[in-house]
Structure 1
Amino acid sequence: MQSPLFAFNDSQARDRYTLQNKQMLRVVLEGHDDILARKGTMVAYQGLVEFDAEYQNRNQQRSRAYTGEGLDLMRCHGQGTVYLANLAQYVHVVDVERDGLTVDSGYVLAMDSSLHHEVIAVDSQYGISGSGKYQLNITGQGKVALMTSGAPLMLQVTPDKYVNCDADAIVAWSTGLRVQMQAQTHSSGVWRRRGSTGEGWELSFMGSGYALVQPSELLPPQNAVIGGGLAAQFGMGQQGARGQNQGNVWS
Protein backbone atom coordinates (compact mmCIF):
# COMPACT_ATOMS: atom_id res chain seq x y z
CA MET A 1 0.00 0.00 0.00
CA GLN A 2 1.28 3.44 -0.90
CA SER A 3 0.01 6.81 0.22
CA PRO A 4 1.25 10.25 1.33
CA LEU A 5 -0.26 9.26 4.69
CA PHE A 6 2.93 7.30 5.44
CA ALA A 7 4.65 10.65 5.97
CA PHE A 8 2.78 10.69 9.30
CA ASN A 9 4.36 7.51 10.68
CA ASP A 10 4.83 6.99 14.40
CA SER A 11 7.70 9.00 15.86
CA GLN A 12 10.59 6.86 17.15
CA ALA A 13 11.71 9.32 19.85
CA ARG A 14 12.38 7.75 23.26
CA ASP A 15 11.73 10.89 25.28
CA ARG A 16 8.90 10.55 27.78
CA TYR A 17 6.84 13.38 26.23
CA THR A 18 7.10 14.21 22.54
CA LEU A 19 4.74 15.72 20.00
CA GLN A 20 3.67 13.26 17.35
CA ASN A 21 2.45 16.38 15.58
CA LYS A 22 1.19 19.80 16.68
CA GLN A 23 -2.13 18.33 17.78
CA MET A 24 -1.16 14.96 19.25
CA LEU A 25 0.95 14.06 22.28
CA ARG A 26 3.07 10.90 22.39
CA VAL A 27 3.95 9.58 25.85
CA VAL A 28 6.34 6.68 26.54
CA LEU A 29 5.55 4.63 29.67
CA GLU A 30 8.23 2.40 31.17
CA GLY A 31 6.29 0.74 33.98
CA HIS A 32 7.48 2.81 36.94
CA ASP A 33 6.10 6.29 36.26
CA ASP A 34 2.40 6.78 35.60
CA ILE A 35 0.85 9.79 33.93
CA LEU A 36 -2.53 11.41 34.52
CA ALA A 37 -4.47 12.32 31.38
CA ARG A 38 -7.81 13.97 30.72
CA LYS A 39 -10.52 11.32 30.54
CA GLY A 40 -11.34 10.22 27.01
CA THR A 41 -8.29 11.73 25.31
CA MET A 42 -6.52 8.48 24.42
CA VAL A 43 -6.68 8.07 20.64
CA ALA A 44 -4.28 5.10 20.33
CA TYR A 45 -1.71 3.11 22.28
CA GLN A 46 0.88 0.36 21.82
CA GLY A 47 2.14 -2.15 24.36
CA LEU A 48 0.79 -3.26 27.74
CA VAL A 49 -0.92 -0.11 28.95
CA GLU A 50 -3.89 0.16 31.32
CA PHE A 51 -6.25 3.05 31.98
CA ASP A 52 -7.98 3.59 35.32
CA ALA A 53 -10.18 6.40 36.60
CA GLU A 54 -8.24 8.58 39.03
CA TYR A 55 -9.62 8.76 42.56
CA GLN A 56 -10.70 12.16 43.89
CA ASN A 57 -10.51 12.73 47.63
CA ARG A 58 -13.29 14.53 49.51
CA ASN A 59 -11.56 17.89 49.39
CA GLN A 60 -11.19 17.64 45.62
CA GLN A 61 -14.81 16.58 45.24
CA ARG A 62 -16.06 19.47 47.38
CA SER A 63 -13.84 21.94 45.58
CA ARG A 64 -15.08 20.74 42.19
CA ALA A 65 -18.71 20.95 43.30
CA TYR A 66 -18.28 24.47 44.72
CA THR A 67 -16.09 26.08 42.04
CA GLY A 68 -16.72 24.05 38.90
CA GLU A 69 -12.92 23.91 38.50
CA GLY A 70 -11.03 20.63 38.57
CA LEU A 71 -9.77 17.75 36.48
CA ASP A 72 -11.49 14.58 35.33
CA LEU A 73 -8.45 12.34 35.04
CA MET A 74 -7.51 8.81 34.12
CA ARG A 75 -4.30 7.13 35.23
CA CYS A 76 -2.21 5.62 32.42
CA HIS A 77 0.27 2.97 33.56
CA GLY A 78 2.21 0.04 32.19
CA GLN A 79 4.80 -0.31 29.43
CA GLY A 80 4.18 1.10 26.00
CA THR A 81 3.29 4.24 24.10
CA VAL A 82 0.12 6.32 24.51
CA TYR A 83 -1.18 8.90 22.06
CA LEU A 84 -3.37 11.68 23.47
CA ALA A 85 -5.38 14.39 21.71
CA ASN A 86 -8.49 16.48 22.31
CA LEU A 87 -10.58 18.10 19.57
CA ALA A 88 -7.49 18.74 17.41
CA GLN A 89 -6.22 21.35 19.89
CA TYR A 90 -2.58 22.43 19.67
CA VAL A 91 -0.48 20.64 22.31
CA HIS A 92 2.43 22.14 24.27
CA VAL A 93 4.67 20.47 26.87
CA VAL A 94 5.71 22.61 29.84
CA ASP A 95 8.25 21.94 32.61
CA VAL A 96 6.64 23.03 35.88
CA GLU A 97 9.73 22.86 38.13
CA ARG A 98 9.74 24.94 41.33
CA ASP A 99 7.91 28.04 40.13
CA GLY A 100 4.55 26.35 39.74
CA LEU A 101 1.95 26.84 37.03
CA THR A 102 -1.54 28.31 37.27
CA VAL A 103 -3.88 27.16 34.52
CA ASP A 104 -7.54 26.85 33.64
CA SER A 105 -8.28 23.12 34.01
CA GLY A 106 -10.00 23.16 30.61
CA TYR A 107 -6.57 23.47 28.96
CA VAL A 108 -4.82 20.54 30.67
CA LEU A 109 -4.30 17.42 28.54
CA ALA A 110 -1.91 15.37 30.71
CA MET A 111 0.64 15.63 33.52
CA ASP A 112 3.11 13.60 35.54
CA SER A 113 1.39 11.80 38.41
CA SER A 114 4.01 13.21 40.81
CA LEU A 115 2.65 16.75 40.40
CA HIS A 116 0.19 18.23 42.91
CA HIS A 117 -2.84 20.27 41.85
CA GLU A 118 -5.38 22.31 43.79
CA VAL A 119 -8.04 24.92 43.05
CA ILE A 120 -7.29 28.58 43.86
CA ALA A 121 -9.29 31.79 43.35
CA VAL A 122 -8.43 34.97 41.47
CA ASP A 123 -10.50 37.86 42.81
CA SER A 124 -11.70 41.05 41.24
CA GLN A 125 -9.90 44.21 42.38
CA TYR A 126 -13.36 45.76 42.79
CA GLY A 127 -14.40 43.13 45.32
CA ILE A 128 -17.69 42.48 43.56
CA SER A 129 -19.42 39.43 44.97
CA GLY A 130 -19.47 36.55 42.53
CA SER A 131 -16.92 38.00 40.12
CA GLY A 132 -13.99 35.82 41.15
CA LYS A 133 -12.50 33.16 38.88
CA TYR A 134 -11.16 29.82 39.99
CA GLN A 135 -8.04 28.31 38.48
CA LEU A 136 -5.91 25.22 38.96
CA ASN A 137 -2.52 25.60 40.64
CA ILE A 138 0.00 22.89 39.69
CA THR A 139 3.14 22.49 41.79
CA GLY A 140 6.02 20.05 42.10
CA GLN A 141 8.56 18.94 39.55
CA GLY A 142 7.45 17.39 36.30
CA LYS A 143 5.80 18.03 32.95
CA VAL A 144 2.34 19.21 31.97
CA ALA A 145 0.83 19.04 28.49
CA LEU A 146 -1.40 22.04 27.74
CA MET A 147 -3.84 22.64 24.89
CA THR A 148 -4.61 25.84 23.00
CA SER A 149 -6.95 26.82 20.18
CA GLY A 150 -4.30 27.65 17.60
CA ALA A 151 -0.66 28.65 18.02
CA PRO A 152 -0.29 30.62 21.30
CA LEU A 153 1.66 33.67 22.40
CA MET A 154 4.08 33.47 25.35
CA LEU A 155 4.51 36.85 27.04
CA GLN A 156 7.31 37.59 29.50
CA VAL A 157 6.38 39.59 32.58
CA THR A 158 9.09 41.63 34.33
CA PRO A 159 8.99 44.08 37.27
CA ASP A 160 9.16 47.01 34.85
CA LYS A 161 6.81 45.53 32.23
CA TYR A 162 3.49 44.12 33.36
CA VAL A 163 1.06 42.38 31.02
CA ASN A 164 -2.73 42.57 30.60
CA CYS A 165 -4.59 39.65 29.02
CA ASP A 166 -8.17 39.08 28.04
CA ALA A 167 -9.73 36.85 30.69
CA ASP A 168 -11.17 34.54 28.02
CA ALA A 169 -7.88 34.17 26.11
CA ILE A 170 -5.42 33.51 28.96
CA VAL A 171 -4.40 29.85 29.26
CA ALA A 172 -1.75 29.72 32.00
CA TRP A 173 0.80 31.77 33.90
CA SER A 174 3.69 31.44 36.35
CA THR A 175 2.27 30.95 39.84
CA GLY A 176 4.67 33.49 41.34
CA LEU A 177 3.10 36.39 39.41
CA ARG A 178 0.82 38.85 41.18
CA VAL A 179 -2.56 38.82 39.50
CA GLN A 180 -5.48 41.23 39.51
CA MET A 181 -8.77 40.78 37.74
CA GLN A 182 -10.03 44.08 36.39
CA ALA A 183 -12.28 45.79 33.88
CA GLN A 184 -10.87 48.67 31.87
CA THR A 185 -13.53 51.08 33.02
CA HIS A 186 -14.36 53.17 36.05
CA SER A 187 -15.81 51.28 38.99
CA SER A 188 -19.13 53.09 38.56
CA GLY A 189 -19.57 51.34 35.24
CA VAL A 190 -17.90 48.06 36.06
CA TRP A 191 -20.78 45.96 34.71
CA ARG A 192 -20.59 47.73 31.34
CA ARG A 193 -18.47 46.33 28.56
CA ARG A 194 -15.75 48.78 27.52
CA GLY A 195 -17.78 51.16 25.43
CA SER A 196 -18.88 49.40 22.26
CA THR A 197 -15.61 47.49 21.78
CA GLY A 198 -16.89 44.16 23.12
CA GLU A 199 -13.98 43.95 25.57
CA GLY A 200 -14.67 43.03 29.17
CA TRP A 201 -12.70 41.49 32.04
CA GLU A 202 -8.93 41.30 32.02
CA LEU A 203 -6.17 39.79 34.13
CA SER A 204 -3.24 42.03 34.96
CA PHE A 205 0.08 40.26 35.69
CA MET A 206 2.96 41.80 37.64
CA GLY A 207 6.30 40.45 38.86
CA SER A 208 8.63 38.04 37.08
CA GLY A 209 7.37 35.14 34.99
CA TYR A 210 5.36 34.26 31.90
CA ALA A 211 1.77 34.37 30.69
CA LEU A 212 0.45 32.10 27.92
CA VAL A 213 -2.32 33.42 25.67
CA GLN A 214 -4.20 31.64 22.89
CA PRO A 215 -5.56 33.27 19.70
CA SER A 216 -9.13 32.60 20.76
CA GLU A 217 -11.50 33.90 23.42
CA LEU A 218 -13.15 30.53 23.87
CA LEU A 219 -12.14 27.24 25.40
CA PRO A 220 -11.62 24.30 23.01
CA PRO A 221 -14.60 24.26 20.58
CA GLN A 222 -16.82 21.91 22.56
CA ASN A 223 -20.05 23.16 20.96
CA ALA A 224 -19.67 26.35 22.96
CA VAL A 225 -22.65 28.67 22.71
CA ILE A 226 -22.38 32.22 23.99
CA GLY A 227 -26.09 32.90 24.19
CA GLY A 228 -27.63 36.35 24.07
CA GLY A 229 -28.60 39.26 26.25
CA LEU A 230 -26.76 41.22 28.91
CA ALA A 231 -26.28 38.23 31.20
CA ALA A 232 -24.56 36.24 28.46
CA GLN A 233 -21.97 38.99 27.98
CA PHE A 234 -20.73 38.31 31.49
CA GLY A 235 -20.97 34.51 31.47
CA MET A 236 -24.21 34.30 33.40
CA GLY A 237 -27.47 32.54 32.68
CA GLN A 238 -27.96 29.21 30.94
CA GLN A 239 -24.71 29.48 28.98
CA GLY A 240 -22.72 30.48 32.07
CA ALA A 241 -20.52 28.55 34.46
CA ARG A 242 -22.66 25.44 34.44
CA GLY A 243 -23.47 25.59 30.72
CA GLN A 244 -21.58 24.48 27.64
CA ASN A 245 -19.06 27.28 28.14
CA GLN A 246 -18.00 25.93 31.53
CA GLY A 247 -14.63 27.36 32.50
CA ASN A 248 -14.90 30.19 29.97
CA VAL A 249 -16.71 32.62 32.25
CA TRP A 250 -16.37 34.78 35.30
CA SER A 251 -18.88 33.54 37.82
Structure 2
Amino acid sequence: MQSPLLAHTAGTGTDRFGLQNPQLLRVVLDGTSEVLARSGAMVAHVGKIAFAGWTPPTGNRRDRRREPDVLDLMRCSGTGTAYLANLAQHLHVLPLNGEKLVVTNTYVLALDASLDWHAVAVENGDRIAGVGSRAVEFSGTGSLVLMTSGRPLVLPVEPGRYVYGDADAVVGWSSGLEVQLQAQTSNTEAWRRRGTATEGWELSFTGQGYVIVQPSELLPPQRVPRG
Protein backbone atom coordinates (compact mmCIF):
# COMPACT_ATOMS: atom_id res chain seq x y z
CA MET A 1 0.00 0.00 0.00
CA GLN A 2 1.25 3.49 -0.85
CA SER A 3 -0.07 6.46 1.10
CA PRO A 4 1.37 9.61 2.73
CA LEU A 5 -0.19 8.29 5.94
CA LEU A 6 2.38 5.49 6.10
CA ALA A 7 5.25 7.97 6.10
CA HIS A 8 4.49 8.91 9.73
CA THR A 9 6.80 6.29 11.19
CA ALA A 10 8.29 6.36 14.69
CA GLY A 11 11.33 8.55 15.32
CA THR A 12 14.66 7.18 16.43
CA GLY A 13 15.86 9.83 18.90
CA THR A 14 17.54 8.77 22.13
CA ASP A 15 16.71 11.82 24.30
CA ARG A 16 14.50 11.11 27.30
CA PHE A 17 11.81 13.44 25.93
CA GLY A 18 11.41 14.15 22.22
CA LEU A 19 8.57 15.28 19.98
CA GLN A 20 7.43 12.66 17.49
CA ASN A 21 5.34 15.52 16.10
CA PRO A 22 4.00 18.75 17.63
CA GLN A 23 1.19 16.85 19.36
CA LEU A 24 2.84 13.54 20.26
CA LEU A 25 5.58 13.03 22.85
CA ARG A 26 8.18 10.27 22.58
CA VAL A 27 9.62 9.10 25.92
CA VAL A 28 12.70 6.85 25.92
CA LEU A 29 13.09 4.74 29.08
CA ASP A 30 16.36 2.94 29.78
CA GLY A 31 15.34 0.94 32.86
CA THR A 32 17.27 3.09 35.33
CA SER A 33 14.83 5.89 36.14
CA GLU A 34 11.14 6.69 36.00
CA VAL A 35 9.04 9.30 34.24
CA LEU A 36 5.82 10.70 35.66
CA ALA A 37 3.02 11.36 33.18
CA ARG A 38 -0.56 12.54 33.21
CA SER A 39 -2.83 9.61 34.01
CA GLY A 40 -4.23 8.08 30.82
CA ALA A 41 -1.84 9.97 28.49
CA MET A 42 -0.24 6.84 26.96
CA VAL A 43 -1.37 6.22 23.37
CA ALA A 44 1.23 3.56 22.42
CA HIS A 45 4.44 1.96 23.64
CA VAL A 46 7.18 -0.35 22.42
CA GLY A 47 9.13 -2.59 24.79
CA LYS A 48 8.58 -3.67 28.39
CA ILE A 49 7.12 -0.59 30.03
CA ALA A 50 4.88 -0.59 33.08
CA PHE A 51 2.31 2.10 33.89
CA ALA A 52 1.21 2.33 37.50
CA GLY A 53 -0.56 4.74 39.77
CA TRP A 54 1.53 7.30 41.63
CA THR A 55 1.10 8.89 45.03
CA PRO A 56 3.33 11.49 46.70
CA PRO A 57 6.05 10.17 49.03
CA THR A 58 4.81 9.73 52.59
CA GLY A 59 6.55 12.88 53.82
CA ASN A 60 4.91 15.02 51.14
CA ARG A 61 1.35 13.77 51.36
CA ARG A 62 -1.36 16.19 52.29
CA ASP A 63 -4.51 15.48 54.21
CA ARG A 64 -6.71 14.03 51.45
CA ARG A 65 -9.81 14.99 53.42
CA ARG A 66 -8.94 18.66 53.00
CA GLU A 67 -7.56 18.94 49.45
CA PRO A 68 -7.07 16.67 46.40
CA ASP A 69 -3.77 15.83 44.74
CA VAL A 70 -2.48 18.80 42.77
CA LEU A 71 -1.34 16.52 39.91
CA ASP A 72 -2.99 13.33 38.68
CA LEU A 73 0.03 11.29 37.60
CA MET A 74 1.10 7.77 36.72
CA ARG A 75 4.56 6.16 36.90
CA CYS A 76 6.19 5.04 33.65
CA SER A 77 9.09 2.60 34.12
CA GLY A 78 10.93 -0.14 32.27
CA THR A 79 12.83 -0.30 29.00
CA GLY A 80 11.45 0.93 25.69
CA THR A 81 9.62 3.88 24.16
CA ALA A 82 6.30 5.31 25.26
CA TYR A 83 4.17 7.75 23.28
CA LEU A 84 2.10 10.27 25.22
CA ALA A 85 -0.55 12.75 24.11
CA ASN A 86 -3.71 14.47 25.28
CA LEU A 87 -6.46 15.29 22.78
CA ALA A 88 -3.95 16.50 20.17
CA GLN A 89 -2.83 19.47 22.23
CA HIS A 90 0.47 21.10 21.27
CA LEU A 91 3.39 19.89 23.39
CA HIS A 92 6.49 21.69 24.64
CA VAL A 93 9.58 20.22 26.35
CA LEU A 94 11.15 22.59 28.89
CA PRO A 95 14.53 21.55 30.35
CA LEU A 96 14.98 22.98 33.85
CA ASN A 97 18.46 23.47 35.26
CA GLY A 98 17.85 25.12 38.60
CA GLU A 99 15.18 27.48 37.25
CA LYS A 100 11.73 27.68 38.81
CA LEU A 101 8.51 27.80 36.81
CA VAL A 102 4.89 28.08 37.94
CA VAL A 103 2.36 26.21 35.78
CA THR A 104 -1.40 25.84 35.98
CA ASN A 105 -1.70 22.16 36.88
CA THR A 106 -4.05 21.22 34.01
CA TYR A 107 -1.33 21.89 31.42
CA VAL A 108 1.24 19.34 32.66
CA LEU A 109 1.68 16.24 30.48
CA ALA A 110 4.91 14.66 31.79
CA LEU A 111 8.05 15.31 33.81
CA ASP A 112 11.24 13.75 35.05
CA ALA A 113 10.66 12.13 38.43
CA SER A 114 13.74 13.98 39.69
CA LEU A 115 11.99 17.38 39.58
CA ASP A 116 10.62 18.94 42.75
CA TRP A 117 7.29 20.73 42.93
CA HIS A 118 4.76 22.12 45.35
CA ALA A 119 1.31 23.68 45.09
CA VAL A 120 0.93 27.46 44.88
CA ALA A 121 -2.41 29.00 45.78
CA VAL A 122 -4.03 31.43 43.34
CA GLU A 123 -6.38 33.77 45.14
CA ASN A 124 -9.99 33.16 44.03
CA GLY A 125 -8.58 30.82 41.38
CA ASP A 126 -11.11 28.09 42.14
CA ARG A 127 -13.76 30.31 40.53
CA ILE A 128 -11.81 30.81 37.30
CA ALA A 129 -11.99 28.13 34.61
CA GLY A 130 -8.42 28.15 33.32
CA VAL A 131 -6.54 28.95 36.52
CA GLY A 132 -8.14 26.44 38.87
CA SER A 133 -7.58 26.56 42.61
CA ARG A 134 -3.93 25.58 42.36
CA ALA A 135 -0.84 26.24 40.33
CA VAL A 136 2.36 24.23 40.70
CA GLU A 137 5.90 25.54 41.09
CA PHE A 138 8.52 23.24 39.54
CA SER A 139 12.22 23.37 40.34
CA GLY A 140 15.37 21.26 40.18
CA THR A 141 17.09 19.57 37.25
CA GLY A 142 15.11 17.69 34.63
CA SER A 143 12.53 18.22 31.90
CA LEU A 144 8.91 19.28 32.12
CA VAL A 145 6.44 18.78 29.25
CA LEU A 146 3.55 21.23 28.93
CA MET A 147 0.40 21.21 26.80
CA THR A 148 -1.26 24.19 25.11
CA SER A 149 -4.27 24.60 22.88
CA GLY A 150 -2.41 25.86 19.81
CA ARG A 151 0.95 27.62 19.62
CA PRO A 152 1.58 29.73 22.73
CA LEU A 153 2.69 33.33 23.15
CA VAL A 154 5.53 34.18 25.57
CA LEU A 155 5.43 37.74 26.91
CA PRO A 156 8.43 39.26 28.74
CA VAL A 157 7.76 40.94 32.08
CA GLU A 158 10.01 43.84 33.08
CA PRO A 159 10.20 45.89 36.29
CA GLY A 160 7.74 48.77 36.30
CA ARG A 161 5.71 47.34 33.43
CA TYR A 162 2.49 45.38 33.97
CA VAL A 163 1.61 42.44 31.74
CA TYR A 164 -1.94 41.06 31.73
CA GLY A 165 -3.31 37.72 30.59
CA ASP A 166 -6.83 36.37 30.38
CA ALA A 167 -7.28 34.00 33.31
CA ASP A 168 -8.56 31.27 30.96
CA ALA A 169 -5.53 31.58 28.67
CA VAL A 170 -2.53 31.82 31.03
CA VAL A 171 -0.54 28.57 31.11
CA GLY A 172 2.39 29.49 33.36
CA TRP A 173 4.85 32.14 34.48
CA SER A 174 8.31 32.69 35.94
CA SER A 175 8.56 31.98 39.63
CA GLY A 176 9.05 35.16 41.62
CA LEU A 177 6.67 37.33 39.63
CA GLU A 178 4.02 39.21 41.59
CA VAL A 179 0.66 37.86 40.44
CA GLN A 180 -2.75 39.36 41.10
CA LEU A 181 -6.17 38.15 40.01
CA GLN A 182 -8.57 40.94 39.13
CA ALA A 183 -11.92 41.43 37.42
CA GLN A 184 -12.29 43.57 34.31
CA THR A 185 -15.95 44.16 35.11
CA SER A 186 -18.06 44.58 38.22
CA ASN A 187 -20.82 42.55 36.61
CA THR A 188 -21.63 39.45 38.67
CA GLU A 189 -21.49 37.48 35.42
CA ALA A 190 -17.69 37.60 35.76
CA TRP A 191 -17.95 34.87 38.39
CA ARG A 192 -19.40 32.46 35.87
CA ARG A 193 -17.17 30.16 33.83
CA ARG A 194 -17.15 32.22 30.64
CA GLY A 195 -18.62 35.51 31.88
CA THR A 196 -20.45 37.85 29.51
CA ALA A 197 -19.51 39.20 26.10
CA THR A 198 -17.06 41.54 27.88
CA GLU A 199 -13.76 40.43 29.36
CA GLY A 200 -14.11 38.81 32.78
CA TRP A 201 -11.07 37.85 34.87
CA GLU A 202 -7.41 38.46 34.21
CA LEU A 203 -4.06 37.92 35.87
CA SER A 204 -1.62 40.81 36.19
CA PHE A 205 2.13 40.22 36.41
CA THR A 206 4.95 42.48 37.58
CA GLY A 207 8.63 41.87 38.21
CA GLN A 208 11.25 40.22 36.02
CA GLY A 209 10.49 37.14 33.93
CA TYR A 210 7.93 35.95 31.41
CA VAL A 211 4.34 34.73 31.03
CA ILE A 212 3.16 31.86 28.80
CA VAL A 213 -0.27 32.34 27.20
CA GLN A 214 -2.13 29.96 24.89
CA PRO A 215 -4.26 31.20 21.96
CA SER A 216 -7.47 29.98 23.55
CA GLU A 217 -9.72 31.26 26.31
CA LEU A 218 -11.54 27.95 26.59
CA LEU A 219 -11.12 25.25 29.17
CA PRO A 220 -8.39 22.73 28.36
CA PRO A 221 -10.10 19.95 26.34
CA GLN A 222 -9.56 17.34 29.07
CA ARG A 223 -11.64 19.40 31.52
CA VAL A 224 -14.68 20.17 29.38
CA PRO A 225 -17.68 19.03 31.46
CA ARG A 226 -20.03 16.50 29.98
CA GLY A 227 -23.51 17.64 29.25
TM-score class, shorter-chain normalisation, is 0.7 to 0.9
Q: CA deviation at 1:121?
A: 0.9
Q: Aligned pair in 2 of structure 1 residues 41, 5: CA closer, same or farther (>3 Å)?
A: same
For residues 183 and 83 of structure 1, what CA distance do their matches in structure 2 show? 40
Aligned to 2:55: 55
- Given that residues 108 and 147 in structure 1 are in contact (C-alpha distance below 8 angstroms), is that contact kept between their aligned partners in structure 2? yes
Please give the per-residue CA displacement for 1:163-213, whole angstroms capped at 9, x wherever unaligned: 10011110111112111111235xxx37464x9642111111111111111
| 3-state secondary structure, aligned to 2:110 | strand
Q: Which amino acid aligns with 1:142?
A: G
The runs of 5 or more residues in structure 2 that have no matched partner are none
Counterpart check, 1:171 vs 2:171 = yes
Aligned to 1:35: 35
Please give the per-residue CA displacement for 1:109-139, whole angstroms capped at 9, x wherever unaligned: 0000011222111226xxxx98894211212
Counterpart check, 1:209 vs 2:209 = yes
For residues 95 and 176 of structure 1, what CA distance do their matches in structure 2 show? 19
Q: CA deviation at 1:43?
A: 0.6
For residues 113 and 161 of structure 1, what CA distance do their matches in structure 2 show? 36
Task: Give the 5 Å matches for 1:1-251.
Answer: 1-57=1-57, 60-62=61-63, 66-67=66-67, 70-123=70-123, 133-185=133-185, 189=186, 191=188, 193=190, 197-222=197-222, 224-225=224-225
TM-score normalized with structure 2 length: 0.85
Q: Which amino acid aligns with 1:205?
A: F
Q: Which amino acid aligns with 1:115?
A: L
- Given that residues 17 and 93 in structure 2 are in contact (C-alpha distance below 8 angstroms), is that contact kept between their aligned partners in structure 1? yes
Q: Which amino acid aligns with 1:217?
A: E
How many pairs align?
220
Q: CA deviation at 1:61?
A: 4.6
Q: RMSD over aligned Cα, in angstroms?
A: 2.8
Please give the per-residue CA displacement for 1:199-231, whole angstroms capped at 9, x wherever unaligned: 111111111111111111123223725xxxxxx
How many percent of aligned residue pairs carry the same amino acid? 50
Q: Which has the higher strand share?
A: 2
For residues 45 and 109 of structure 1, what CA distance do their matches in structure 2 show? 16
For residues 199 and 146 of structure 1, what CA distance do their matches in structure 2 show? 26
Q: CA deviation at 1:108?
A: 0.5
